[in-house]
Structure 1
Amino acid sequence: MSEPTSVTITRTIDAPSKDIFDVLSLPDNHVAMDGSGFVLSVDHGDRITASGQVFTMNMTGDHMGGDYKTDNHVTGYDEGKLLAWQTAPAGTQPPGWQWVWELTPLGPDSTEVRHTYDWSNVTDKDLLSKISFPLVSEEQLETALTNLAEAVSS
């Protein structure tokens, strides 16, 4: 059996998809939403409005030897429905992992939120020997969804 190359979690949040998307599409909100403990602050990043944008985050983690920055290249955008980005050490091209947020309205005040952390496109053997995927656990993704639900309700 092959090793998994992604983690997906789904939760219903009692809020309109527009409100959830508004929180997700502003990089400043990612610090409070983070369930991994890696995200420290936004270095720069305007509201996400299209694929092709890049936002930069200040991060920390033993896997990178302490503090570092990431450039997040927006690869998927469908207003109110989808946000996706590939993450890379600042100043480099993404090595293949991505974060995907999919929103499905279940009614005017309820949305199914599907959050995927996918490293299936990481092919660099040196990177794969240095980093043990997944860097973020299913439990940490669950925490991110809890934080998102709290951010939308406040």
Structure 2
Amino acid sequence: MADDKITVERTIQASSDRVFDVLSNPERHQEIDGSGFIQSDAGTNRIQGTGEVFTMNMSGDHMGGDYQTENTVTGFEPNRLIAWQTAPAGKEPPGWQWVWELESQGSDETLVRHTYDWSGVTDQQLRDRVGFPLVSEAQLEDSLTRLDQAVTGS
């Protein structure tokens, strides 16, 4: 459903490989998180392909405080795409995902599109409990600003 996702985009003054370098490193996700939920990476290696799982330490009132997520990589194309489905640790992904699409605009400019998509959540009780969208468009925009700062150093 079209109303079940939010997409924001921004042009970053850096090559797509520099942007992808930050996105594919879970150790840097807290730095670029505009939601404030991510506390730290739980010792994950750099993301190398689909099917991999990386674990994040999180905190949020919606989960009663501190918790962990397991994120299954669903899309991976170096310097172009990285996406994952998120689930509470030990559970199957319930259907929402985060997608980062990169479009090179030349050697030193990249159009970055960031999508929060919960259209795959079919459990109505979960939808009601979470109150999608849990992350706002403004928070996604903040993630792009933070990514820009992480990549360009400004």
TM-score, structure 2 as length reference = 0.97
Please give the residue correspondences for 1:69-84 in structure 2 after superposition, counting only pairs within 5 Å: 69-84=68-83
Q: For 1:126 and 1:142, how far apart are their aligned partners in 2?
A: 28
Shift of 1:112: 0.2
Shift >4 Å, 4+ stretches: none
Q: For 1:3 and 1:54, how far apart are their aligned partners in 2?
A: 27
Shift of 1:44: 2.7
- C-alpha distance after superposition, 1:65-96 (max 9, x if no partner): 11110000000000010000000000111000
RMSD: 1.0
- C-alpha distance after superposition, 1:16-67 (max 9, x if no partner): 0000000100000001000001000111311011001100000011111111
TM-score, structure 1 as length reference = 0.97
Amino acid at match of 1:116: T
Is 1:26 the counterpart of 2:29 in the alignment? no
Please give the residue correspondences for 1:33-52 in structure 2 after superposition, counting only pairs within 5 Å: 33-52=32-51
Is 1:54 the counterpart of 2:53 in the alignment? yes
Shift of 1:153: 1.2
| Residue number in structure 2 paired with 1:92 | 91
Structure 2, unpaired ranges of 5+: none
Q: For 1:86 and 1:27, how far apart are their aligned partners in 2?
A: 14
Shift of 1:128: 1.2
Structure 1, unpaired ranges of 5+: none
Q: Give the length in aligned residue pairs.
A: 153
Shift of 1:3: 7.6
| Residue number in structure 1 paired with 2:7 | 8
- C-alpha distance after superposition, 1:76-135 (max 9, x if no partner): 000010000000000111000000000000111000000000000000122112110000
Identity across matched positions, percent: 58
